[in-house]
Amino acid sequence: MTTALRRLRNYIDGEFRDAADGRTTEVVNPVTGEPYATAPLSGAPDVDAAMAAAEAAFPAWRDLIPAERQKVLLKIADRFEERAEELIAAESENCGKPIALVRSEEIPPMVDQIRFFAGAARMLEGRSAGEYMDGFTSIIRREPVGVCAQVAPWNYPMMMAVWKFAPALAAGNTVVIKPSDTTPASTVLIAEIIGGVLDELGHSRGVFNVICGDRETGRLMVEHKVPAMASITGSVRAGMQVAESASKDLKRVHLELGGKAPVVVFEDTDIAKAVEDIATAGYFNAGQDCTAATRVLVQESIHDEFVAALAKAASETKTGAIDDEDVLYGPLNNANQLAQVKGFIERLPAHAKIEAGGEQVGEKGYFFAPTVVSGLKQDDEIVQNEVFGPVITVQSFADEKQAVEWANGVEYALASSVWTKDHARAMRMSKALDFGCVWINTHIPLVAEMPHGGFKKSGYGKDLSAYGFDDYTRIKHVMTSLDG
């Protein structure tokens, strides 16, 4: 006897709807590898409907004074807290994340980030008015860009949805957001929460819309004539495709793509503390984080000691059931991602050595053991390309110059960290490292007030912070004659 699958639906103009043509895709629980829900496989009619709803809602939302938009966002944050257990359950089932960690590590920052952008709504900044030509006064208006087409990833579907909708709504834009086809459940629940708040406060529910679907759905959103901006968090390939599609009508593009964060450990560091923090930052969320501490560069004088300690830490790191509070991470998100991680291990060169892990765990689901690989060279595939799994690589460097060369010697440039007690060295490294973020003696903390975003193939634009808020606005110059 089979159990009926839960039915997820699009959220368009305040209504939950199936895809116009009735197509669906199965949503799989990565803990079991079995489907537990269906979601719409949306096509052009669904995208048209969502964009029309967002476009119709935009003028009234744009024209609200910032204090009114702030009220909405603050109420949304309150509802997130009130319905936290529902959000946690949806995210844990859909992603296989440990319940306790979603509760402690995702809900509080999400709520804080929504409240931050609620405040940012009232801090629209521009240069002061002034006379730059005799007889004329110039002023700057900062305005919303319009309808935003947003695509969120599967590694943090809830939190990345917040990073997208909160600044967009705060700035006065309306939103059509698409979650990954493997993780739509929590985003659909978010739509219910936001729709309820908009309705309660008397605003059009077309301000926020959710479309479920696959890459083709995302392509239709980006290429649609209505959105003024396309924002995606995803792979480099997906980002390039979005940039190319958006260029056809010169849409604004906001891209947060892959990463290959170097973790540069110098010989004067506290090895035990560094290993503890790096293992956590490398294995958290199964390493499915574009800032994960998975590419370690260790000064050769402490290499062997560090690798031994890291391998021990890996062997003591636990993956498993979502209700086990001793678990650091759950399964990989989907079968394709498990195959990708296994492929990297299977293709390791002969000079590489697996110090810990290296294999799938269990007979069901997509679990992979905490892994450490040493003996690697700078041009090895696993050093150059993003694994997006619980695999930490280790290289040995001779001096600061080589550390900088190897750290910067990848196509990604999102995040990095430096581990040393030497303040001057830390400052030199923070200047030399070509990454959007440099942590010193830590790795992975983020705060709402500071920007997150990279360079090179890690994309452009910023999430979080006032810089992220600014990305969802446009600048207009207004000049007035003073002679009446």
Give pLDDT, residue 2. Answer: 52
Enumerate the active-site residues: 256, 290
Q: What are phi and psi of 365, to 5 degrees?
A: 80, -175
Q: Where are the domains of the chain?
A: 6-257+458-477, 262-447
- Confidence label for 1 from pLDDT (cuts 50, 70 and 90): very low
What dotted CATH number matches 262-447? 3.40.309.10
Q: What percent of the chain has pLDDT over 90?
A: 97
- Using 50, 70 and 90 to split pLDDT, how confident is the model at 127? confident
pLDDT at 484: 74
Share of the chain above pLDDT 70, in %: 99
Give just the sign of the alpha carbon dihedral 279, 282, 284, 285.
negative
| Residue range 204-212: mean pLDDT, rounded | 97
pLDDT at 125: 78
> Phi and psi dihedrals of 186, rounded to 5?
-70, -30
- Both tokens assigned to 138: 């110039």
Q: Do 6-257+458-477 and 262-447 come out as alike in CATH topology? A: no
Question: Residue 281: CB partners within 8 Å, gap ≥ 6?
Answer: 263, 292, 293, 443, 444
Pairing of strands 174-178, 208-210: parallel
Q: pLDDT tens-digit profile of 346-388? A: 999 999 999 999 999 998 999 999 999 999 999 999 999 999 9
Q: What is the pLDDT of residues 402-452, one digit of tens each?
A: 999 999 999 999 999 999 999 999 999 999 999 999 999 999 999 999 999
Q: Taking residues 260-284, what's their average pLDDT?
A: 98
* pLDDT at 96 (0 to 100): 96
139 - beta bridge partners? Answer: 478
- Select from 3.30.450.90, 3.40.640.10, 3.30.1540.10, 3.40.605.10 the CATH code of 6-257+458-477: 3.40.605.10
Q: Cα–Cα distance between 79 and 74 in angstroms, integer? A: 9
